[in-house]
Chain A
Amino acid sequence: MSLVTKLATARRKPGRWHWTDVAAYAYLALGVVLMFGPVAWLAMSSFKTQAGLLEFPPSLLPMSQREVVVAGHAQPLPLFEVTMPDGSTRVLAQVRRIGIQAQMVDPANPAEVIRVPIDKRTLVREFKLATENYTEPLERFAFMRFLWNSVFVTVVATIITLIINSMAAYALSIYEFRGKNTVMLMVIGTLMIPITIILVPVYLVVTELGLVNSLWAVILPGAATPTGVFLLRQYMLTLPRDLIEAARMDKASEWQIYWRIVMPLAMPALAVLAIFSVMWRWNEFLWPLAVLTKTESYTLQIGLNAFQGELQTQWHYLLAMTVVTLLPVALVFVFLQRFITTGIANTGMK
């Protein structure tokens, strides 16, 4: 903790404010607001009720009207603070509003109806988290199912990606063979083809294989990524040849060299690729949308899309589930940040 305070109050010369300190902190604060502001707003808005979301002017914190149950009324009534004609203020519950007049009752004395001009009353609001935004979609909709599908796709696809790409990279970096550079160029060349171009052909292949509506249809087509092969190959090229040769002298089989020497040493690059793969897979939208048509095989991203109807968007659910969707990637970043920075620095990838 002391390290954090030390970092957060660091100055050019201890104990004195130089103008560059002020400028640096102002700049960084601006950066925090720009980067983190939308996320913070999303997180706070996800706890607002549907009415709270549409409120204008918008509030930062999730506030909602305080309501009270009054005898003789089936629905809970909203509470207002009312300035009475004699100048005193009372807290009254509104029964109904007619034009510019509101009919109100005192919750303690529900029999007496008081008429109040609407400009004399203000809403009594309280801080309230609309946790039902989270619980309802998770219960009513198959969101747990979507979450599981997304996790499955992400984890399995990342593992397959790491294994396949590292094997290709191993062959393309450690071995010498005719056409090696041609193969590498072709692999990199596929980077130039956007997914929209191959969407239809790949869809046809997937249909032929009978994989439509199966999660494997999402996992398999993208398992071998040229980016991953390139990234790993570049890293493996930096491993000393002597190590590979020492392993050969040590009677290691090619598999053992790959698995016990090259893979552990390529860990920084593998970590970077794993992080990228998790991000790609988790955020993937277009391709799953094309091949997954049944609700039970939806991933989270497709599930989120379902909240956005043609006529109406259920913003409160959408925002809450967006937060749920963001969490795993955020966690990946928090815990693997070290690998990302060192790994990217090492691999020259950005």
Chain B
Amino acid sequence: MSELSLTGVRKSFGSTHVLHGIDLHVAHGEFVVFVGPSGCGKSTLLRVIAGLEEVTDGAVAIDGTDVTGLPASERGLAMVFQSYALYPHMSVYKNMAFALENMGLPRDEIDKRVRRAAGMLQLTDYLERKPRALSGGQRQRVAIGRAIVRDPKIFLFDEPLSNLDAELRVATRKELAGLHAELGGTMIYVTHDQVEAMTLADRIVVLQAGKIEQVGTPLELYNRPDNLFVAGFIGSPRMNLLPGTVARPGIVTVGDGGHEIACETATLASGAPVTLGVRPEHLSLSESQGLPLAIELVERLGGESYLYGASPGLPQIPAFLGTARSSRTSREAAQLRDPS
């Protein structure tokens, strides 16, 4: 069992407060992704877990043992760095064996583990090469291999895919998911790419400005965001957040035209300001009814198309146009209908 729990973790660099009291529990075998915009403290949080940064306040516990004061080398975790941090003067084999040598394992055991990891990651042919003779994707795999051979309690990934090109990123993402299924270890993964977060995570932790905004499964976050930040952060294109007012129970008006939309208003009083969140794919085109929209841009991504429109008094509204291959939108204006 490898669990991790953080209680009231704070981190300050001088007078700059980076983490403001993080409480989190990661269960055994879970794949948790920290996601958030740049500078939200997600990497710092990972480094605190790794032991590379000391906490200013709070506690870190692994498997119920307090490790707050332990240095990185004694926590039994493995980390994959954004820069890969491969030792440039060592061969791939040596890179992977380094940690095992430090652990004092016998030579044949080291050899067995390195070759097994190399086999899993298709690195067997490159074991004698130096890192500089490898492509970006191969270096990435060596960095992962270096973590795997350790058989660590928890894997930590610090934006491991951000230096790869788009195609390789998707492929490696799938490999990582496969790896997690195969190894079953506890993994903590930091990224700013919400697609990575959505596809890999068992649970996503959304961070902003050093605080946890929401923790949940990808679909929970997608369907039931707790707050505006999470609503806007998860999903691409962004969720439409339309400022409006409650006109009367069950009806909200948005925009300068005071267009009325029927939705549940619960206990909100009439006249209360609200923000209406609608995902682009929940909007559909309509000729006759709904919110009038001036089309500004149509993005055709091949498989799917998005329409960007404007309505007076509202921010730009993206809408999913469906999967039609050759939809020709020649009209200047369209009507959007909210199906809910």
Contacts and interface: CB of A to CB of B under 8 A. Distances in A.
Given A245-B52, A256-B102, A251 B85 contact: no
Given A245-B52, A264-B89, A265-B89, A252 B73 contact: yes
A72 B35 CA distance: 108
Contacts of B52: 245, 248-249
Contacts of B103: 251
B40 interface: no
Contacts of A260: 98
Given A240-B83, A245-B81, A251-B73, 20 more contacts: A242-B81, A242-B82, A243-B85, A245-B52, A245-B79, A246-B81, A247-B98, A248-B51, A249-B73, A250-B98, A250-B99, A250-B146, A250-B150, A251-B99, A252-B98, A252-B102, A253-B102, A256-B102, A261-B87, A265-B88
Contacts of A249: 50, 52, 72-73, 77-79, 99
A253 B72 CA distance: 11
Contacts of A240: 83, 85
Interface string B93-111: 0000011001100000000
B322 interface: no
Contact of A242 (B51, B72, B85, B146): B85
Interface residues of B, number: 24
A243 B87 contact: yes
20 contacts: A240-B83, A242-B83, A242-B85, A243-B85, A245-B72, A245-B85, A248-B51, A248-B52, A248-B72, A250-B73, A250-B99, A250-B102, A251-B74, A251-B99, A252-B98, A253-B102, A256-B102, A264-B89, A265-B89, A267-B89
Contacts of B102: 250-253, 256
The residue among A250, A264, A265 with the most chain B CB atoms within 10 A of its own CB is A250
A260 B88 CA distance: 11
Contacts of A250: 73, 98-99, 102, 146, 150
A246 B146 CA distance: 10
A249 B150 CA distance: 10
A256 B101 CA distance: 11
Contacts of B50: 245, 249
Contacts of A245: 50, 52, 72, 79, 81, 85
